[in-house]
Amino acid sequence: MTATPWWRHRRLLPLLIQAAAGLAILVVIAFLLGNLVRNLTAAGLLLSWRWLSMPAGFDVAETLLPFNAELPYWRALLAGLVNTLRVVVLALVGATALGTVVGTAAFSSNGLLRRLARTYVELIRNVPLLLQLLFWYFVVFLSLPNGAEAIQLPGLVLAKKGLYLGHTTLVNGVWQGTLRLTLEFSALLTALVIHSAAFIAEVVRGGVASVPRGQWEAARSLGLGHRQTLSRIVLPQALRVIVPGLNSQYIALAKNSSLAVACGYSDLYSVAETTLNQTGRAVEVMLVLLGAYLTIDLLISALMNRLNQLVQIQER
Amino acid sequence: MRAFPMALRHRLLAVLSLMGGLALAGCAGDDGGLQSQKMALIKGRGQLICGVQGTLPGFSSVDRNGRYRGLDVDICRAVAAALLGNPDKVEFRDLNSSERFAALASGEVDLLSRNTTLTLGRDAAGGNGLNFAPIVFYDGQGLMVPKASGITGIEGLNGKAICVETGTTSEMNLADRMRERSIAYTPLKFQTSDQTYAAYLQGRCAAATTDRSQLAAKRTGFPDPEAHVILPDVLSKEPLAPATVNADPLWSDAVRWTVYALLQAEELGITQANVEAKVAKAKGDPNQADLRRFLGIDGELGRQLGLPADFAVQAIKAVGHYGEIFERNVGSGSTLKLERGLNRPWSRGGLHYAPPFR
């Protein structure tokens, strides 16, 4: 019996083909990168990061971290990132709460509440977010009256100069409060919460609907009320279906926050745009943006995956 | 023996064809000597693609017949006339202030004629890497406030919010001037000028800031233009100029000298109305050497630029000389009624000056 020639070898051949394919892909990537660097060099745009430590020279409207025009660009970008995180975290909490309420309202015994929830979801889901954001900012918040005519609720004053929370007082026609939110921040937060909540409501509704009818009936026959049935029996089981769906909604919310630039809120994207225009370092600024949003979204994914593991049925 | 799997063969084929396609598409061709790639491209296309602002009365906006009008627009038409012999062979693209440089760099537009301030950073290869044509409008940054606010100077804006368009020189000038004067303020930045002025008109900002000519132009579109005043403070020098990319110096030269031709025509008193008569007269008079060269009757100035010999005549026929362009769009013949001021020719106390056509 003659030995099999190597090109007919059952185990070697697939390996060789895979190696060749892998090599081909590497060659393509190397070619693309080489081409990118060559063209960037030719256009005088070779990657450079020195601009990061140069003074920014522009101001940012509202920042949690102290910032002024003398600080370097990286501080401006960091201030923008913190602003993005601030609105994303608050919107996540708000949208989850509102979405859960609306989603479970679809199972309410109250017909009016059920229809209200449906109307809300259909209305919000089918209007572009940018349009909603512009509506909240230009039509709702910028139309607020000032001074004594401002809308006053317990612990909350809505005025053109901003939203005042906590203990509010009117001094010389200007409101003062424990906490002041700018209109830009409030408009973005409102738009993100209202928009994302509609999608989250559908995820929650789907999750609750996935719990077998028998579970509801069993809970009822044990004497539990509607609210108790929902919170003790149905929702814990529904979470297994809800959490994976929530993950993508949360990621979408984080990315949608970059629409802030339309309503004048200084988020990461807005600061990056100014930076891009003043430094001319388009590729670098885009890389920073890509990296930042990717990191935020991967973090959200990681947390949600961990949560997903916790709510799944523990197999024994 | 095992046959070469079919699916794998298909995959390999796909990879190979992909590589071929990328190799063809990804490589940038080398410049072939004195031939301008951009000009060849425009001639081949039969149309100049010009990036403009699009919503700025006087500089570039669409009139009720759907036709673009304005000073920036006329520069595009003059260049199209000089290169292609027809001022209507222009496609206009509206660009916002953050898009404009990327659109030019990527070749989406051939020429950027969009009230863009010439600065070192934008000109330098290490910055935006643009190539600027001569300045077509000398401007300065100003502040507009509602008349009812009672604010009369920049100091009155202490602690107030100011609306500004993001990605403009206005943003940085504002920061510099306010820092010099130690005036605290909140910059509210919007992506488009429409959003900026909508927020200003809604009363979110005590003032809006940009170039003074732009403020005057935008004000004409307000529900009550009389209710807004432009403060006397001038925050900066804003020389506005058309721009091309650095990579094609021949194309940049063609644009540069087309703009100079418009300035030169005003100095020589050649108007849209009398240009034909001037050409006829110069043809019959061999002693007028300067004029004959400028009008392309003698010499080869046009050919040296890669343009037709009569490029200046074509440009003037299309839009008139610089003074006519100014008066028609932003001066006495327009709703803006701007003073010529620094935009007069040098011979009348202004800053516009064309080098010799020889």
User: Which residues lie below 8 Å from residue A316, measured CB to CB, with a gap of 6+?
Assistant: none
Return the C-alpha torsion angle B210, B211, B216, B218, nearest 10: -50
Chain B residue with CA closest to A8: the answer is B1
**Alpha helices (runs of H) in chain B, residue ranges in sequence order:** 6-26, 37-45, 71-84, 100-105, 120-123, 169-180, 193-201, 212-219, 249-268, 275-283, 289-294, 301-305, 311-319, 322-329
The three-state DSSP-derived secondary structure of A212-278 is CHHHHHHHHHCCCCHHHHHHHHHHHHHHHHHHHHHHHHHHHHHHHHHHHHHHCCCCHHHHHHHHHHH
**Residue A180, beta-bridge partner list:** A164
From A124, A134, A128, select the one nearest A184 (Cα to Cα): A134
Q: pLDDT at position A315, please? A: 67
Is the reported ipTM for this assembly greater than 0.90? no
Interface test with A, best of B189, B190, B205, B248 (most A CBs within 10 A): B189
How many CB atoms lie under 10 A from the CB of residue A170? 15
Residue A240 near chain B (CB below 8 Å): no
Q: pLDDT at position A43, please? A: 64
Residue B10 near chain A (CB below 8 Å): no
What is the b/e burial string over A126-135, where b = at least 16 CB atoms within 10 angstroms of the residue's CB?
Answer: eeebeebbbe
Which backbone phi and psi does B154 adopt, to 5 degrees? -60, -30
List CB contacts (< 8 A) between B175 and chain A. Answer: 57-59, 69
A187-191, A265-269, B3-7, B193-197: least confident range: B3-7
What is the b/e burial string over A93-104, where b = at least 16 CB atoms within 10 angstroms of the residue's CB?
Answer: ebbbebbbebbb
Q: Which of B11, B125, B171 sits opposite A58 (nearest CB)?
A: B171
pLDDT band at A33 (very low <50, low <70, confident <90, very high): confident
Q: pLDDT at position A129, please? A: 95
Query: How close, in Å, is residue B342 to chain A by CA atoms?
Result: 27
Mean pLDDT across the stretch A167-187? 85
How many CB atoms lie under 10 A from the CB of residue A268? 26
Q: pLDDT at position B4, please? A: 42
From B284, B291, B298, select the one nearest B269 (Cα to Cα): B291
Residue B25 near chain A (CB below 8 Å): no
pLDDT band at B34 (very low <50, low <70, confident <90, very high): low
Chain segment A60-114, per-residue pLDDT in tens: 888 888 888 889 999 999 999 999 999 999 999 999 999 999 999 988 889 999 9
Percent share of chain A, pLDDT over 90: 56
Mean pLDDT across the stretch A240-258? 94
d(CA B18, CA A8): 28
d(CA A37, CA A55): 27
Q: Which of B15, B179, B195 sits opposite A69 (nearest CB)?
A: B179
How many CB atoms lie under 10 A from the CB of residue A43? 16
Q: Which helix (H) or strand (E) holds B91?
A: strand B90-94
Query: Pick the residue with more confidence: A162 or B60?
Result: B60
Chain segment B276-293, per-residue pLDDT in tens: 999 999 999 989 999 999
What is the b/e burial string over B251-278, where b = at least 16 CB atoms within 10 angstroms of the residue's CB?
Answer: bbbbbbbbbbbbbbbbbbebbbeebeeb
Interface of A with B in 127-186 (CB under 8 A): 138, 142-143, 160, 183-184
Q: What is the mean pLDDT of chain B?
A: 88
**Measured in Å, how far apart are chain B's first and last C-alpha atoms?**
81
Beta-carbon separation of B19 and A28 below 8 A: yes
Interface of B with A in 73-112 (CB under 8 A): 97-98, 101-102, 105
pLDDT band at B10 (very low <50, low <70, confident <90, very high): very low
DSSP state of B118: P
